[in-house]
Every structure is written in C-alpha cells, then in structure tokens.
Structure 1
Amino acid sequence: MTRIPLPPASPVGDTAPRFALAELPVPMVYAAYRIIRDCNAGFAALFGATRDEIVGRSFARLYPEIGDFIRRGEQWAANLAGQEVYYDERVMARLDGQRFWCRVNGRSLSRGGDPFAEAIYCFEPMNRPAAQPGRALSERQRQILAQVAQGKTNARIAAETGLSRRTVEAHRARLMKAIGVGNAAELVAWFVSSGTADR
C-alpha cells in the first residue's frame, strides 16, 4: 500500500510524518481528481470490494446514480476549496448495488489549487435504513433532507448547495406537506426512521 504524499506547498516540508492508509482503523481513501488512488481494507470492505476492484477507478462507481456523483462533486468543490475540510451524509452503493448511508469527512491536500487534486476521505457507515418503502425523492430532496437532519439552517444549506435560501425553504415546505408533518423535528424523525432518501 502506498503512503500518502504530502502536498508540495506543505509548510512543514519533508519532515512531516508519513503514514500508510492500512495503518488506520477506519475506512479511509486517498483520491486524485476523484479517482481512487489508494484505500485501506476497511474502505474496500465497506463497499463490498477488494482493493484491486476499486483502486484506479472513479468514485462514480460507488454512487447509486451518475447524477449523484456529479451533484456531490459540485457541492464538495464549492466547500472544500474554501475551508480545506468538509463533511456530509449521503447514500452510497456497494459493488453489488446495495445502498447504505454514510458520513463522509474529507480534507483537501491541495492548498490553494483544485481541492480534488489530492484529497483524503474518511467514510463512516451510519445506522440509517437506505431502503425506501414508499415515495421516491429526488437527489436534491435527499440532499436537503440529509442536511436538515444534520441541524443545518436554511441559509447554510443554501450556501452549501448553491441554491437560494427561498428555494431551500420551498423544498422543505413541499416535503413537509407531502409527508404530512408539521415541523422540522417531525421531518427529521420521519427521514431517519423511514430511510426514504434512498431513491
């Protein structure tokens, strides 16, 4: 397993410690331009794969739909570039197609450049059902619901998704009306218990 390269602009230079992903106890992956360049056994197992099946491949293979991959990339590009660290919760797909919820923390290793040039991500599986027994939601609705469940305000959701605050409010209002809940707490409870954000 390769060692994580330090970014060229690192202020600490070559004296910084280097480490192998295999030594880390959580599912970790190192990527360049959203291509998986290295991962540990925990990450491969999370996706029901071997390292050989996913190293050198695009992250797109691990998303339920290509649209999910594109929209998530746009969101992360906007947020990673400004603060170097970002996280969200999303539905991913194992190689057999089984979907699951996970929390993803990412850090760009490219200071001042393209945040995807070098990045490292930690994937934490969540105990949230990803099967949907009833109504199908769009990726945008799933994205907004996931951020509501994280306790984010409409303004912050708008900033992270590139939508206007009024658009976020409209999405939330339509969802609440369609589901038949009266407030954000009920919306979050429904979201967590139903797993409805999968499709």
Structure 2
Amino acid sequence: MEIRIEDSYRSGRFEEIAFLYAPVGLVVTENRVIRDCNFAFAEMFGYDRDDLKDELFSSLYPSREEFVNIRDRGVNRLRETNTYWDERIMARKNGALFWCRVRGHSFTPDDPLQRAVWSFADLSEIRPYSALTRREREIVSFLADGLTSKEIAQRLDLSYRTVEVYRAKLLKKFGVTNTNALLQALGDIESAHVVNRGAEGE
C-alpha cells in the first residue's frame, strides 16, 4: 500500500487512494451488488474488503424484509435530481445493529440502482441503537418524517388503530408522552434526516 501511495503522489493521480482511504465508507454498486468498497466501509461492517466484493447488499441489512422495504426509497429523487440521503438501521457482520447516514449518486439516473456510488457514515457515537422491531423502526421513521398515524397506516397497509397501538407502545417503552419526546429519546432523529429533503449539504 505504501508503494501505491508514493506512486500516487509522484504521478499526481490520487483517485485510487482517495477512494481507498477516505474517512467515510464508500461503496460502488451495480443492481444492488457491491462491486467495490473502501477500507472504512469494510471496517464499519466488520469485513475485509475482498469479502464484500460482488456480494448482495442485502447481507448488510437487519433482515431481508427491510432490504426489500428500503429498496425503492429515494429512487424517484435520484431519477429527478441524482441526489439522495437518509438515515437507516444497518447490520454488522457480528449481527450488531447501528444507525447509518447514507448518501447516493447514480451513474445511470434513468435506472438509478443500476450503477451508483454511496457513502456510509456510522452514527453510533451520536445515535446509539435502541432495540426496536422492524415494524417499530418503520413507524418511527414515518413519525420522524412528520406523517400522521392515518398516513402511516396507508403506507404500511395497516389499520389506523394498529398504528396507534404501536405508537402508544413506543411512547410507553421509552417513557415519554409525545412523538417529539420519543424521537429525542431515540437520539434526536429529525424528519429532515430520516428521508431525503432535497439538496442538503454534505
């Protein structure tokens, strides 16, 4: 690696070492298959780089269901503006779950997930993971996005009453009395950070 770094400085070509050594996780995907990633990305998830190449991205999610549920999130925004970011729960190799901030850029905007590059930032230090079921995480994300229980019910194909029951259980679980306090208890999640709101700065 030292030879590669020296060669880059001698030649003035820094693309490779910038990708490999960037202090944020970077990954290049093709149809949601990992084609390459940098050291920070591999370390974040507890793998060696070579172990992740050509692997399905689904292995880095808490469950197959969550991989499917989040698959189309942001596709329209990428198609329209080629900018997207959100915050989501991911899974390390050892099974530990953690919050990540994810940003994306597509090389094929007409088919955004065909070829893309993504950055991943580990938010563990500022947002510790709190144990929630998959459905609870979905509802929290929608609450943070400002949706009402009725709107959440429509999105998740649930009854309004079911969503209200989940919401009440979440408030009780975290010992709070309203949604704002719940989001603060979960690490100050704000709606602008859970789903894309446009061209936020890096």
Q: TM-score, structure 1 length as denominator?
A: 0.70
Which stretch of the first structure deviates more once superposed, 54-63 or 90-99?
90-99
Gap runs ≥5 in structure 2 = 1-12, 189-202
Q: Are 1:116 and 2:113 counterparts?
A: yes
The alpha carbon displacement at 1:177 in A equals 1.9
From 82, 85, 88, the equivalent of 2:83 is 85
Q: Deviations over 1:114-171 (max 9, x none)?
A: 1011111111111322252xxx5334x313413544xx3328xx69xx828x979877
| Aligned residue number for residue 134 of structure 2 | 138
Q: TM-score, structure 2 length as denominator?
A: 0.69
The root-mean-square deviation of aligned C-alpha atoms, in Å, is 3.2
Gap runs ≥5 in structure 1 = 1-16, 194-199
Helix, strand or coil at the partner of 1:71:
helix
| Aligned residue number for residue 30 of structure 2 | 32
Which stretch of the first structure deviates more once superposed, 176-185 or 53-62?
176-185
Helix, strand or coil at the partner of 1:119:
strand
Residues 177, 52 of structure 1: alpha-carbon distance in 2 compared, 3 angstrom cutoff: same
Q: Deviations over 1:50-70 (max 9, x none)?
A: 111001111011111011111
| Aligned residue number for residue 58 of structure 1 | 56
Residues 46, 171 of structure 1: alpha-carbon distance in 2 compared, 3 angstrom cutoff: farther
Aligned residues between the structures = 166
Output the CA distance in 2 between the equivalents of 1:121 and 1:184: 31
